[in-house]
Amino acid sequence: MGQYNMTMMDGGSVPDIFIDSAGNELILAGGELVIRDDGDYFLEISVVVNDVDESVNVSGPYSLSGSTVTLSGEFAGRYDGENVVDLTYPISGIQHLFTFDKSSVFDN
């Protein structure tokens, strides 16, 4: 399916500084989601929460059913069939909505 760069978190542009619903300061540098044709994915989210690095680097199997993509059987998102994946993922115990966009990836 491809490589997707993070463009938004909870409706705000990335990179940016956010205050979540628990009052935590999140310094979000960005992220990447790679969904491979072999059934595996790789997710990276670069984030510092209250001056502590809580960056995410996870990988595993994914499944796709209609417009729903599920990572490792735990984290679900919406795939538009071409360019955008919206994924709900917890950071510091709070669920956030991340948007990853294939059209924001530039080939070198």
pLDDT in tens, the chain (108 residues): 789 999 999 999 999 998 988 899 999 999 999 999 899 999 999 999 999 999 989 999 998 888 888 888 677 889 888 889 999 888 888 888 999 998 765 443
Single pTM value for the model: 0.84
CB 7, CB 104: distance < 8 Å: yes
CATH class of this structure's domain 2-104:
mainly beta
Phi, psi of 103 (to 5 degrees): -70, -10
Of 77, 89, 88, 85, whose CA–CA distance to 103 is shortest?
85
